[in-house]
Structure 1
Amino acid sequence: MSEAESYDHPDVVLCPGGPMLLRGDHVVQDSDGVAHRTTRPVSAVCRCGKSQTKPWCDGTHQVLPAKLRPA
């Protein structure tokens, strides 16, 4: 990938009220210290703390009251 291509989109995007999106290869450490390598072109990481599939987002943030969603 050229330097110009690497700036086409950010590697990390914080979705207001939702997950953190990771593009490309990353390693995410869960609350137990276990490392998880991303395997998809885009991976969604939970930011609300309520996902049943942590560290990955399962969409639970969508049913939370606005005050409990991540900023």
Structure 2
Amino acid sequence: MSDVTIQVRDNGPYVVRGSFVVTDAEGNQFEKKDVVALCRCGHSATKPFCDGAHNREGFSSTPRAGQS
């Protein structure tokens, strides 16, 4: 596999770029894409993918690397 990057968006999703596979708890694979946004807020109707619900719900999270 090539390099994969995961960007934590302020008040939004995890944006994953690269060559990867998203697999559910039963081992089923979702459609392969080069970029996906994964829900962090828990309100998406398309989990595990982001549908923008974080905006409607007022989700707030701005973690920074190195914070515990």
Tell me the TM-score normalised to structure 1 length.
0.65
1:49 matched to which residue of 2?
42
RMSD, aligned CA? 2.2
Q: In the alignment, which of 9, 12, 37 is matched to residue 6 of structure 2?
A: 12
Aligned twin of 2:65: none
8 A contact 2:14–2:39 mirrored in 1? yes
Task: Summarize the alignment of residues 1-71 of structure 1 with structure 2, pairs less than 5 Å apart.
Answer: 11-30=5-24, 33-35=25-27, 36-37=29-30, 39-65=32-58, 68-71=59-62
- Does the 8 Å contact 1:22/1:42 carry over to 2? yes
- 2 CA distance for matches of 1:38 and 1:25? 12
Q: In the aligned structure 2, how far is the partner of 1:34 from the partner of 1:55?
A: 14
Q: How many residues align?
A: 59
Kindly provide the amino acid, as one letter, of the partner of residue 28 in structure 1.
V
Q: Measured at CA, do residues 34 and 51 of structure 1 come closer, stay the same or move farther in structure 2, by a change above 3 Å? A: farther
Structure 1 ranges of 4+ moved more than 6 A: none
